[in-house]
Structure 1
Amino acid sequence: MKVFISADIEGVTGVTSWGETRYGGQGYEAACRQMTLEVAAACRAAMKLGYEVVVKDGHEDALNIDMTELPKGVQLIRGWMSSPASMMGGLDESFDAVVYIGYHSPEGTDTSSLAHTGEHEWFNYIKINGELASEFLYNALLATDYKVPSVFLSGDEGMCQLAKKSHPEIITVATKKGIGNASWNIHPEEAIENIEAGVEKALKANVGLRPVEKEYHMVINFKEHQHARRASWYPGAKQTDSNTVEYTAKTIWELTVARMFLSE
């Protein structure tokens, strides 16, 4: 039995400003430590139930997690594989479940001071089949393509609510809620305890797969019209106004590849 853990930092309790998410920024080291401890809690829960655990560091240069603080036996993927899978690089059909730690609200929402989808400076919003797209939604779709259920997510309250909307059976733990440029956080130790208990509960539950759609229509609204024009050159993409590009994929993998070139 195998569990894949995809980890980000903006949904970790206490993390509020962009500086805390970037190398050299005020509070970055503390944010990395809490990210590590929340991931470690998820690892302990899975290993307690007999799962092999693989962790993908999915933030910035993917060099944030201190692997010496993870339980012995955990495998950690650092850096990027230069693959459309991005934050899910390493996932395949051999896994039994995916867990998401430290995830955040998407661009186009007001439930996190750090709301974004991919590059914060590029987009006003991204939608897939009319649904506001988060990094979780992209990654959970890819998991579905591999027939691996997404069973647990921790992060800000807004992201937890969106995850429940698209994946009603998923177990979530809200580490904080966003109000303007502020975050209202639970205590770090409480977050760790809740995540460990939540992951154990999720892995014991029979969480199903999201149904596969016949096609995936992606709408990307760029903040700068130049980026929309550039993206419009991707085969099959269509620029529908000064700042918007649309693309329809027949499969999840086709959508994943298109996103790599259209939005990064």
Structure 2
Amino acid sequence: MKVFISADIEGVTGVTSWSETRYGGQGYEEACRQMGLEVKAACDAAIELGYEVVVKDGHEDALNLDPWQLPRGVQLIRGWRTSPEAMMGGLDATFDACLYLGYHSAEGTNSSPLAHTIEHELFNWMKINGKLASEFSMNALWAAYYGVPSVFLSGDEGICSHGEEVCPGLVTVATKACTGNSTWNLHPQDALEQIREGVKAALQQKTDLISPEEKYSLQIHFKEHQNARNASWYPGAKLIDSNIVEYTAKDVRDLMVGRMFMTGI
């Protein structure tokens, strides 16, 4: 049995400002340490249940997790594979479940001071089939494409509520609530214990796959109209407003490839 963990940092308990998410910023080292501890708590739970664990560092340059924090036997994927898999790079159909740690609210929502989707400076929002998309919802679609259920999510309250709508039966742990530029956080140790117990519960229940759609219409609202015009040259994409590009994909893989080339990320 195998579990894939995709890890981010903005949804980790305590993390509140952009400086804490970037090299050299105030609080960055502390945020990385808590990110590692939350991932370790999930790994410990999965290992206890007999799972092999693979972790994908999914933040910034994907070099945030300290391998020495993780239990022996865990495999850590660092850096980027320069592929449309992005934060899910390394996942395939051999895995039995996906877990998401430290995730955050989507761009276009007000439920986190760090709300963004892929890149805060580039996009106002992304939508798939008319619904606001998050990094979690897109990554869960990618997992479902491989036949792997998404069973657990931790992060701010906003992304947890969103995740429960995307994946009925998803087990979530809200590490914090957010108002404006503030966060109201779980104690770090309490977050670790809730993640450990949540992962155990998630891996011991049956979670259904996201139902596939006949097609996937992706809309990207760029902050700068020049970037929208540039993206509109992708084959099949069209400019529907000065800052909005739309692309209709035949399946999830086509969707993610289009997203990669239109965003340049």
TM-score between both structures, scaled by the size of structure 1? 0.99
- Listed one character per residue, the Cα deviations across residues 174-222 of structure 1 (whole Å, up to 9, x for unaligned) are 0001110111101000000000000000000101101111000011111
Between the aligned partners of 1:254 and 1:121, the Cα distance in structure 2 is 25
| Cα distance in structure 2, aligned partners of 1:205 and 1:86 | 27
Report the residue type matching 1:131 in the other structure.
Answer: K
In the alignment, which residue of structure 2 is the partner of 1:82? 82
Mapped partners of 1:121, 1:245: distance in 2 = 17
- AA aligned to 1:169 is G
Q: How far 1:261 sits from its partner (Å)? A: 1.1
Matches within 5 A, 1:45-194: 45-194=45-194
Q: Partner amino acid for 1:20?
A: E
Find the aligned partners of 1:184 and 1:150 in 2 and give their Cα distance: 26
Cα distance, 1:9 vs structure 2: 0.2
C-alpha displacement at 1:131, in angstroms? Answer: 1.2
Coordinate RMSD, CA, aligned: 0.5
CA distance in 2 between counterparts of 1:130 and 1:147 reads 24
**What corresponds to 1:2 in structure 2?**
2
Q: How does 1:27-42 map to 2 (within 5 A)?
A: 27-42=27-42
What's the CA shift for 1:164?
A: 0.4
- Mapped pair 1:233 → 2:233: yes
| Equivalent residue number for residue 19 of structure 2 | 19
- The answer to whether the aligner puts 1:221 opposite 2:221 as a matched pair is yes
Gaps of 5+ in 1: none
- Equivalents in 1 of 2:66, 2:122: separation in Å? 30
State the alpha-carbon separation in 1 of the partners of residues 185 and 111 from structure 2: 13
CA distance in structure 2 between the aligned counterparts of 1:125 and 1:70, rounded to whole angstroms: 34
User: In the TM superposition, what is the alpha-carbon distance from 1:130 to its structure 2 partner?
Assistant: 1.2
TM-score, normalised with respect to structure 2:
0.99
Asked if 1:208 is matched to 2:183, the reply is no
Whole-Å separation in 2 of the counterparts to 1:194 and 1:3: 18
After superposition, the C-alpha distances for 1:88-129 in whole angstroms (9 at most, x for unaligned) are: 000000000000000000000000000000110011110001
In structure 2, the partner of 1:197 is 197
- How many equivalent residue pairs? 264
Query: Runs of 4 or more off by more than 6 Å in structure 1?
Result: none
